[in-house]
Amino acid sequence: MQIDGAPILITGASRGIGAATARHLAARGAKVGLVARSAAPLEALAEETGGLALALDVADWDAVAGAVARMEAAFGPVAGLVNNAGLIDPIARIEDSDPKAWATVVNVNLTGAYNALRAVLPGMGARGTGVVVNISSGAATGALEGWSHYCATKAGLLSLTKVADKEMAPKGVSVVGLSPGTVATEMQREIKASGINPVSRLDWEAHIPAEEVAQAIGWLFEAGAARHAGTDFSLKTPEGRAEVGLPPRG
């Protein structure tokens, strides 16, 4: 797909990877739909990018379906989706975890991603074109202490990526995961504060900027998704960074 002029829906758009992606894609001519629970930062970002602020909880199916309808009324059929909304806090070992908080993370990270897919895939399939980028993690295949909710949902999201691609590839739609590594966002501050597992002990300088993830998402939309569809494309390897056009990590 061509980014210029394409309506692209971005969840978790109020900060971090989502906000950086909105700015990057809008600068390249995309019409961005911005989804998050916090209305004020969305409104500010919508004014900055010329996008549409859609304040909602992605775990609410009716709200997601309504937002897609609003976006399509404003910009036309959704051509791309960035499934980025995600939570990791509160971080706790299973024996110490709060069941309600654990379920909230599952509902946002996994059910929320399903809801967005369910809302856009019928139209993409009918038109025979579309790209979905699901923001994944090394946690999809690795076990990390204190992250039972996050690891479980990212593993589920990887399976969702594989199933969606198997179902939609014959219809011309590419579904791909992006595993960016650790990124300098508020989530890393939450991880640092937990003091649980080795990731919490990483220096801030070890994390890549969100703008690099945004560049990778742009590359997946225009070139990489068809090549890596049905998998998690990793930005953690020299080869992955080179494909995107990013410099090697020092």
Q: What angle do CA 62, 65, 67 make, to 5 degrees?
A: 105
Catalytic residue among 114, 150, 219, 221: 150
Amino acid at 61: W
Of the candidates 194, 177, 188, which has an alpha carbon nearest to the alpha carbon of residue 236? Answer: 177
Write out the H or E segment, with its range, that includes residue 7.
strand 7-11
**Quick check: is 114 catalytic?**
no
Write out the two tokens for 10: 């971005």
The CA distance from 131 to 121, in Å, is 9
- Separation between Cα atoms, residue 102 and residue 88, nearest integer Å: 9
Q: Where are the beta strands (DSSP E) in the chain?
A: 7-11, 31-36, 52-55, 80-83, 130-135, 173-179, 232-234
Integer Cα distance of 239 and 247 in angstroms = 10
Both structure tokens of 89:
């806090």
Which 8-state DSSP code applies to residue 94? G
Catalytically active residues, by annotation = 150
